[in-house]
Amino acid sequence: MVTGIEGRRYTEPMRLLAFHTNRAITLCLPLVLAGAYLAAQNSPPAAGPNSLDSHFENDQVILNAPHPGITIPGAATGKNWHNHPLNRVMVYIHTGGEKLTYLDGSVEDLKWQAGTVRWSPAVGYHYSELPPELDPRVWKTPAFTTPMIVDIGIKKPGYPGKVVGTALDPLRVDPQAFTLVFENSQVRVLRLKMGPRQSVPMHEYTLNRLAVYITAQKVRETSAEGKVEVAEHTDGSVSWSGPSKQKLDNLTDKPLETVIVELKSIY
């Protein structure tokens, strides 16, 4: 069961199909939405020397999995009919929307605000469109130069219970800065909001995780061993990290926001 979910309609059954590192790997993502409308959009600027391809993949996740269209007899032609075989976490960097049309003829208009996070279960064949009234920036020049959507496919089943946090669990250490977006058998998703020059005390992540940076930010990370590292992230970039303890300081005069996706894989 999903708790705290920002809902979305899907009727197909879900299908479920260790990468570790001590320092985060920054992933820069291009615009992601179905169809050819966004194919020509610009990729965001590189966020650092560890930038990876937008379709980063390891044994636990895949980002922005390609979904090539197929021809379905009897279905509308000229459409990018595709499916999504994995459950996904969708993180929306910019305000926008899209129109989904399913094989049974039903239509769904999705709208979201910047920073919205949704759990998107595996779904059968459909095609996507971007009506100008849902996402006018896509049709203008210049268009977005940072990702619109970060699409995180979850490749492994997870433990059905909740994350058993330590005394340094982020939600315990600083419940004002960290909030629970939702949790299910595969992921726990947290949101971190920090004010200008704000600090978060030492806290601990016990699982592998992805961090999606909703805002551009410059932070100082201090490990439990006292190692200090200053990291800069562009809005829409993503990093991968293993279990760790850290203290965090916002080094700018602007607030920051990050979505943290913890992976509850059972193996």
To 5 degrees, how large is the angle CA 28–CA 54–CA 238?
A: 40
- What is the average per-residue pLDDT within 237-249? 94
Give residue 259's pLDDT: 97
pLDDT tens, 10-66? 333 333 333 334 444 445 443 343 333 333 333 333 344 334 456 789 999 999 888
Model confidence band, residue 147 (pLDDT cutoffs 50, 70, 90): confident
Residues 150 and 189 in one domain: no
Residues 191 and 145 in one domain: no
H or E element in which residue 119 lies? strand 117-120
96, 134 in Cβ contact below 8 A? yes
25, 239 in Cβ contact below 8 A? yes
Residues 174 and 88 in one domain: no
Percentage with pLDDT > 90 across the chain: 55
CB atoms near residue 110 (< 10 Å): 18
Residues 129 and 181 in one domain: no
Residues 119 and 205 in one domain: no
Q: Which of 102, 122, 154 is the last residue of a domain?
A: 154
40, 31 in Cβ contact below 8 A? no
Residues 88 and 61 in one domain: yes
The strand pairing partners of 96, in sequence order, are 112
Q: Is 90 exceeded by the pLDDT of residue 72?
A: no
Model confidence band, residue 142 (pLDDT cutoffs 50, 70, 90): low
Q: Which of 90, 125, 154 is the last residue of a domain?
A: 154
Q: Are strands 256-263 and 96-102 parallel, antiparallel or unpaired?
A: unpaired
Residues 80 and 148 in one domain: yes
- Would you say residue 179 lies in a domain? yes
Task: For residues 195 and 189, give the distance between their C-alpha atoms in angstroms, rounded to a whole number.
Answer: 20
- Would you say residue 11 lies in a domain? no
Model confidence band, residue 141 (pLDDT cutoffs 50, 70, 90): low
- Would you say residue 233 lies in a domain? yes
- Would you say residue 222 lies in a domain? yes
Which residue has tokens 């129109």? 99
- Would you say residue 45 lies in a domain? yes
Q: Which of 122, 154, 186 is the last residue of a domain?
A: 154
Give the CATH number for residue 190.
2.60.120.10
Give residue 160's pLDDT: 82
- What is the average per-residue pLDDT within 222-239? 94
- Would you say residue 159 lies in a domain? no
251: left (phi over 0), alpha (psi -120 to 50) or beta: alpha
Give residue 20's pLDDT: 33
Residue 26's nearest CA partner among 3, 44, 14 is 44
Which SS3 state, helix, strand or coil, does residue 65 take?
A: coil
Residues 37 and 118 in one domain: yes
Q: Please count the structural domains in the chain.
A: 2
- Would you say residue 235 lies in a domain? yes
Residue 202's nearest CA partner among 222, 176, 218 is 222
Residues 109 and 186 in one domain: no
Which SS3 state, helix, strand or coil, does residue 36 take?
A: helix
Residues 181 and 220 in one domain: yes
240, 63 in Cβ contact below 8 A? no
Give residue 148's pLDDT: 81
CB-neighbour burial class of residue 227 (10 A; exposed 0-12, middle 13-18, buried 19+): exposed
Residue-level length of the chain? 267
Residues 142 and 43 in one domain: yes
Which residue has tokens 């020397």? 49
- Would you say residue 13 lies in a domain? no
Residues 40 and 143 in one domain: yes
Model confidence band, residue 212 (pLDDT cutoffs 50, 70, 90): very high
Give residue 2's pLDDT: 43
Sheet holding 123-129, edge to edge: 82-84, 123-129, 96-102, 107-112
Q: Which domain holds residue 105?
A: 32-154
